[in-house]
């Protein structure tokens, strides 16, 4: 259990995927370029720059044609510490849900390995924060 104050520390934002590339020599990893909206730091300096992030995600198996991700708006955790994954820096996390067939074993429930990215309505602009 976490407190509401701990939960409020998580910055969940709408981001638009600008590009998606398979990371060579991996089965699951994609390198995403994501627009998380207007850059807060740059806006304070008077510049109209965007917060473009590189995010590594293990979703390649769900998107054999990863080009279908380009243009999608999804929800991202925007304030994770940067992490090196296979030598590539990742600056966030895409949010998704799945029904892992293995997780249903012994539960008496059927599961077929479904997967879905968390996608807001298209009219919600990049950079909008969940609350």
Query: For residue 3, is it within any domain?
Result: no
Does residue 41 lie in a domain region? Answer: yes
Query: 50 in a domain, yes or no?
Result: yes
Which residue ranges in the chain fall short of pLDDT 70?
40-47, 101-112
In a domain, 128, yes or no: no
Overall number of domains in the chain: 1
pLDDT of residue 125: 96
pLDDT in tens, 86-97: 999 999 999 999
CA-to-CA dists, residue 78 to 34, 65, 74, 125, angstroms? 10, 25, 12, 15
What is the token pair recorded at 33?
A: 């370029």
Expressed as residue numbers, the domain containing 84 is 10-117
Residue 1 lies in a domain: no
pLDDT of residue 102: 58
CATH number of 24's domain:
2.40.50.140
Residue 73 lies in a domain: yes
Q: What is the pLDDT of residue 113?
A: 78
DSSP 74: E
Identify the pLDDT of residue 41.
Answer: 60
Task: For residue 65, tell me if it sits in a domain.
Answer: yes
Q: How confident is the model at residue 45, as a pLDDT?
A: 58
Q: Looking at the domain assignment, is residue 2 inside a domain?
A: no
Structure tokens at 72: 């999608």
């Amino acid at each position: 259990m976490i407190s509401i104050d701990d939960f409020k520390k998580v910055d969940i934002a709408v981001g638009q995927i600008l590009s998606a590339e398979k990371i060579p020599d991996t089965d699951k990893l994609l390198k995403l370029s994501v627009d998380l909206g207007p850059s807060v730091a740059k806006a304070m300096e008077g510049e109209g720059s965007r917060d473009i992030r590189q995010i590594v995600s293990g979703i390649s198996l769900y998107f054999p044609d990863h080009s279908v991700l380009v243009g999608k708006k999804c929800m991202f955790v925007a304030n994770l510490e940067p992490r090196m994954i296979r030598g590539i820096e990742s600056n966030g996390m895409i949010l998704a849900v799945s029904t892992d067939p293995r997780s249903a074993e012994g539960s008496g429930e059927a599961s077929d390995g479904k997967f879905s990215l968390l996608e807001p309505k298209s009219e919600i602009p990049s950079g909008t924060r969940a609350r």
